[in-house]
Structure 1
Amino acid sequence: MPEDPRQALLEIAKDAAIKAGKEVLRIYDSGDFKSYEKEDESPVTSADYKANEIILALLHEQTPDIPIMSEESNNGTLADRQHWQRYWLIDPIDGTQEFIARSGDYAVNIALIENNEPVLGVIYWPPGETLYYASKGHGAFKSSPLESKQIFVREFDEPAEDVVVIAISRRQSREKVMSRMSSERTYQTLPLGSCSLKACFIAEGKADVFLRIGVTGEWDTGASQCIVEEAGGKILSVDFAPLTYNQRNSTENPDFIVMGDKQINWTDVVKAEIGKKK
């Protein structure tokens, strides 16, 4: 059988994420970076811009016919992008706050979107030299200095009784998260930094669910969605509707849920009022 052409693109994305990640780690270790505040009051650093520069240069060189949308670039309007049938979706550093706070919980995200759906996902965690990646229909994988393996969400032995592990932000109120979970279950919480690392922990079975309440962009979920779905989970809005890519003027995501084992009825675990702003 002929090789899936996406596999060559996956290798390009992996290479770009690792190269950018190594430079980000060098900057992180040196502490020699500048922090800024964007118009939406979110933080950005000179390391974000450097990673963006590295990724864009490599992708433009290797895939000149594929357009790129990045958190740290001017992406134009929907009218400019709506004809894109395939494009790269980049978050040079997911977890910039964690990078600044020096928790180590940050990652480089690269996704390929085809017909408004993530079909490749690469997430690189520089401090652990760990790469998570997936291609639609080919499974999800983890590669680190300690192991290389295919990954899967955790399957519950007793779906109605097993403890549910919730990945939560280091800066998120545990009480706020727990107020949105059914009182019929038993929970453990696992504090982590970036959205994408939480998703990867669910994809490899270290956590079961993650609720993201707050502002994110499509670049925060593209790579994660492909990896989580190929590992057997799913990412949906808090209304349990599919996320959209390059279909609205805004690139801002709705609040969303990353879920593991599909045999769990997550609509019973996560309260419906999660979608209500508080």
Structure 2
Amino acid sequence: MPDYTLQTLLDLAKSAAVEAGREVLNIYDSGDFSAYQKQDDSPVTSADYKANDIITQRLEEATPDIPILSEENMHASLAERKQWSRYWLIDPIDGTQEFIARSGDFAINIALIENNEPIIGVIYWPPGQTLYFASKDQGAFKASPEKECQIRVRELDDPGSSVVKIAISRRQSRDKILSKLTRERTYQTLPLGSCSLKSCFIAEGKADVFMRIGITGEWDTGASQCIIEEAGGRILAANFEPLTYNQRHSLENPDFVVMGDQRVPWQEIVQYTKEK
């Protein structure tokens, strides 16, 4: 196996995400795309497929020995996947529903998983021409047309009583999310679209916590996990168990929570019980 450096692989992922994102934005601006329903009733568009083709081709050309697991490709069996020591994990468009609804809250996600752990995370937000990226033990960064800088989660003035900023889905009940949190705190809600952009908001200190209740796949959290953890936060299943990658037949995630300032007693705040 070629001895790629982590920086080389990060640069590749960044380049592929931006290239795919620019094409997706062209399609978004033109409005010339087709939308379909997948077997699980989730939406997919011709733009998802175009982004997937671009990313897959770029990664295969540069790293033909590294397998690719994408939401929009046929998924290998667990028996085959268990042979992978590392692989690319892709969500060509995170927030397809937002793309269709024209809210602008969608992103391109690319992660590199090694030994079942995300070690590279790249999230590109096409409408804002903004790139979030991280690699293991190297910090998290944001590059926009204005500047590039390292990002960190927000440190609350008083971790025990400060107002907590919650990133919530535009399409999820605010009351449903607040019902999962202790009423002994004061909350400010920030509506946003895709899962990965909410995680990026936490990574750069614009929000403090995000709880996802509902079906997602491992490709929805791989890039986010690397970025949020390099920015000083954490992402865990909503019962505070670690998320897993490539260890189960199903690629579905459990409900999960993304947390900023680690001095905050999150396990006291998140009062999660799995819905029946």
Q: Deviations over 1:2-41 (max 9, x none)?
A: x981010000000000000000000000000000000000
Inter-partner Cα distance in structure 2 for 1:203 and 1:93:
20
Inter-partner Cα distance in structure 1 for 2:79 and 2:4:
31
- Asked if 2 retains the 8 angstrom alpha-carbon contact of 1:238 and 1:256, the reply is yes
Inter-partner Cα distance in structure 2 for 1:239 and 1:81:
26
Query: Residue 43 of structure 1 aligns with which residue?
Result: 43
Q: Deviations over 1:106-164 (max 9, x none)?
A: 00000000000000000000000000000000000000012210000000111112100
Counterpart mapping for 1:20-39 below 5 A = 20-39=20-39
Inter-partner Cα distance in structure 2 for 1:27 and 1:127:
12
**Given residue 152 of structure 2, which amino acid in structure 1 is its aligned partner?**
F
RMSD: 1.0
Inter-partner Cα distance in structure 2 for 1:11 and 1:276:
39
Q: Secondary structure at the match of 2:191?
A: strand
TM-score of the pair, normalised by structure 2: 0.98
Inter-partner Cα distance in structure 1 for 2:274 and 2:57:
41
- Asked if 2 retains the 8 angstrom alpha-carbon contact of 1:95 and 1:195, the reply is yes
Counterpart mapping for 1:121-132 below 5 A = 121-132=121-132
Inter-partner Cα distance in structure 2 for 1:122 and 1:275:
31
Q: Secondary structure at the match of 1:262?
A: coil
Query: Residue 182 of structure 1 aligns with which residue?
Result: 182
Q: How many residues align?
A: 274
Runs of 4+ with deviation above 2 angstroms: none
Q: Deviations over 1:193-250 (max 9, x none)?
A: 0000000000000000000000000000000000000000000001101000000000
Query: Residue 273 of structure 2 aligns with which residue?
Result: 275
Counterpart mapping for 1:89-108 below 5 A = 89-108=89-108
Note if 1:214 corresponds to 2:205.
Answer: no
5+ residue gaps, structure 1: none
Inter-partner Cα distance in structure 2 for 1:236 and 1:4:
29
**Given residue 168 of structure 2, which amino acid in structure 1 is its aligned partner?**
I
Query: Residue 236 of structure 2 aligns with which residue?
Result: 236
Q: Secondary structure at the match of 1:190?
A: strand
Inter-partner Cα distance in structure 2 for 1:8 and 1:35:
35
Q: Deviations over 1:150-182 (max 9, x none)?
A: 000000111112100000000011110111111
- Alpha-carbon distance, 1:75 to partner: 1.3
**Given residue 127 of structure 1, which amino acid in structure 2 is its aligned partner?**
P
Q: Secondary structure at the match of 1:92?
A: strand
- Asked if 2 retains the 8 angstrom alpha-carbon contact of 1:140 and 1:230, the reply is yes
Counterpart mapping for 1:188-267 below 5 A = 188-267=188-267
**Given residue 20 of structure 1, which amino acid in structure 2 is its aligned partner?**
A
Inter-partner Cα distance in structure 2 for 1:95 and 1:275:
26
Aligned CA distance change for structure 1 residues 4 and 262 (closer, same or farther; 3 Å):
farther
Inter-partner Cα distance in structure 1 for 2:190 and 2:4:
37
Query: Residue 61 of structure 2 aligns with which residue?
Result: 61
Inter-partner Cα distance in structure 1 for 2:158 and 2:82:
45
Inter-partner Cα distance in structure 2 for 1:261 and 1:147:
24
5+ residue gaps, structure 2: none
- Asked if 2 retains the 8 angstrom alpha-carbon contact of 1:255 and 1:275, the reply is no
Inter-partner Cα distance in structure 2 for 1:72 and 1:201:
26
Query: Residue 170 of structure 2 aligns with which residue?
Result: 170
